[in-house]
Chains A and B, each alone.
Chain A
Amino acid sequence: MDASATPTLRARSLSKRFGARTVLRDVDLDVARGETVVVIGASGSGKTTLLRCVSHLEIPDSGTVDVDGRPIGRIAIPGGFKDASERQLAVQRRGIGFVFQRFNLFPHLSALDNVAIGLRHVLGLAKSAARARAAEQLRKVSLGDHLDKRPAELSGGQQQRVAIARAVAMQPTIILFDEPTSALDPELVREVLDAIRALAASGMTCVIVTHEMAFARQVANRVIFMDDGRIVEQGTPAEIFSRPREARTRRFLEHFDAEAGATS
């Protein structure tokens, strides 16, 4: 990473607790433009909460997030910052795309309108322009033949690709993927991973939480291992997967290998 450039994403000291349980402890995360960062770790390690706090779908208890040097969730005032209002946050959040584990498509809208609705009402495109750009995005994830289908008429893999097109169409600075294949039947995982891989290759800045280790190894510029709400270790895929320094990382990966061996 070029240390002199402003990182596309800069998160500092993010902490979050739910009741008595601390899920995120003082996490820093920088992501450079065009970088693909994969976050791995056991369930409950804080990966999802990290993404949700970065996007401010969950408001962190403390810490700051900036995207392209612009604050998320706070507003500069003379002498410091104040919390952004819900409305201000909605505007700030437009730079951050989010792909959910369970797709969260709008069930009352066609695939095309799922993608077009944000273009029309958030970016203010005319109806025809919004639909044209939405169709183009859907074709990029090989869904050109399914524009008019409702989510219920699509497979899980197709739905998740619509969700990816919906996020990409908004032209965000960065896209966060929260376990994008965890809710899919095994045979549908590949088409979604291919879509994400193509997106990362096109230069989109991505942070991906996933349990797909082979995919992580291929696609990541950097792998982050989280445990107990902290980043334990990070490095290139080779560093993390082949020679992890931390005992906890090794234990997690061994456990994973054993499981993969058992199911294959």
Chain B
Amino acid sequence: MSIDWNIVETAIPLLARGTVVTLQIALAAGVLACLFGFTLGLAALSNIKPLQWVISAYVDFVRGTPLLIQVFLVFFALPVVGIRFDEIWAGIIALAFNTSAYIAETVRGGVGSVERGQTEAARSIGMFRWQILVYILLPQALRPMLPPLTNELISMTKNTSLLSVISVYELTRAGQAIISVHFVPFEIYLLLALYYYALIKALSYLSRYVESRMPVL
């Protein structure tokens, strides 16, 4: 088995284009997932019971079904009821909703584990529950929450590869396109693995850097 270096040379710039799309999808889905996830996680800590039930049902559904099925639901099933997205946005939305459920759980757990005296002190100066969550508990929970949050965003970035099945021209799809023309699965899948590995490594270094810059409380 020898490596076809010409193919590797051809593939590198093509895969780079796919990488850009993968990064764009990961960024958009990551931002949306954090927005949804933090909102859901904090709302789950409110004392509005119906809201807690809805959120826990949502989290339960997302964690109890495969991401691939969720992608199909958004891309193939929603248009049936008149909600239509192109493949990129369908992918972004499916990934964002999926990841937001995990983030919501992380936020709920992280904020919930801040020492009880903090809530009491905030109550003693008359703060409302939402103020306590936003101004007192959440800022203290951010640093301990960062490693699990990073894991969720890393999983999400890897899961962008699933969007190749709905024809999103991201990294995996770009690789498959080359394979279908040149039939070189060995070189291309190896390259894909390296590309993803580099992406994920960069993400985890970024996370560790951010964590190191956050004050220890």
Residues of A within 8 A of B (CB): 55, 57, 86-87, 90-91, 93-94, 96-98, 100, 102, 104-108, 117-118, 121-122, 150, 152, 163, 166-167, 170
Q: Is the CB of B123 within 8 A of A100?
A: no
In the complex, the answer to whether A167 meets B125 with C-beta atoms within 8 Å is: yes
Complex CA distance for A86 and B119, rounded to whole angstroms: 13
Task: Digitize B121-140: 1 where CB-to-A-CB distance is under 8 Å, 0 elsewhere.
Answer: 11111111101000110011
A25 to B125, CA, bound (A): 27
Closest to B47 in A: A86
Among A57, A90, A97, A105, which residue has its beta carbon within 8 angstroms of that of B127?
A: A90
Size range of the chain B interface in the assembly = 20 to 34
Would B136 and A118 count as touching, CB distance under 8 A? Answer: no
Contact call B139/A167, Cβ cutoff below 8 A: no
10 closest Cβ pairs, A-B complex? A104-B121, A118-B125, A94-B126, A98-B124, A104-B117, A107-B217, A122-B126, A108-B139, A90-B128, A93-B126
With a cutoff of 8 Å between Cβ atoms, the chain A residues found around residue B120 in the complex are 57, 98, 100, 104
> Whole-angstrom distance from the CB of B164 to the nearest CB of chain A?
43
A94 to chain B, nearest CB (A): 4
Instruction: Kindly state the separation between the CA atoms of A104 and B121 in the bound complex, as whole angstroms.
Output: 6
The interface of chain B, by Cβ under 8 A from chain A, is 47, 117-118, 120-129, 131, 135-136, 139-140, 215, 217
B contact residues around A117 at 8 Å (CB):
125, 135-136
Beta-carbon contact of A121 and B127 below 8 Å: yes
For A105, the chain B residues whose CB sits under 8 A away are: 121
Cα-based distance from A98 to B128 in the complex (angstroms):
16
| Most chain A CB inside 10 Å of its own CB: which residue of B120, B121, B140 | B121
Q: Which residue of B lies closest to A107 (CB)?
A: B217
Contacts A86-B129, A100-B117; is A121 near B124 (CB within 8 Å)? no
Is A57 within 8 A of B123, CB to CB?
yes
Q: For the complex, give the distance between the alpha carbons of A86 and B120 in Å.
A: 13
Q: Find out whether the CB atom of B121 lies under 8 angstroms from the CB atom of A100.
A: yes
> Is A118 in contact with B126, judged by CB distance below 8 angstroms?
yes
Q: A93-B126, A94-B126, A117-B125 are in contact. List 15 more A-B contacts (CB 8 A).
A: A57-B120, A86-B47, A86-B129, A90-B126, A97-B124, A98-B121, A98-B124, A100-B124, A104-B118, A106-B121, A118-B127, A121-B135, A163-B121, A167-B125, A170-B125
Residues A121 and B217 in contact, CB atoms below 8 Å apart: no
21 residue pairs bridging A and B, Cβ less than 8 Å apart: A55-B124, A57-B120, A90-B129, A91-B126, A93-B126, A100-B117, A100-B124, A104-B120, A106-B121, A106-B122, A106-B140, A117-B136, A121-B131, A122-B131, A150-B215, A152-B217, A166-B121, A166-B125, A167-B124, A167-B125, A170-B125
Chain B: CB-nearest residue to A52:
B120
Residues of A within 8 A of B127 (CB): 90, 118, 121-122
Chain A residues near B128 (CB-CB < 8 A): 87, 90
Given the complex, which residues of A lie within 8 Å of B217, measured CB to CB? 107-108, 152
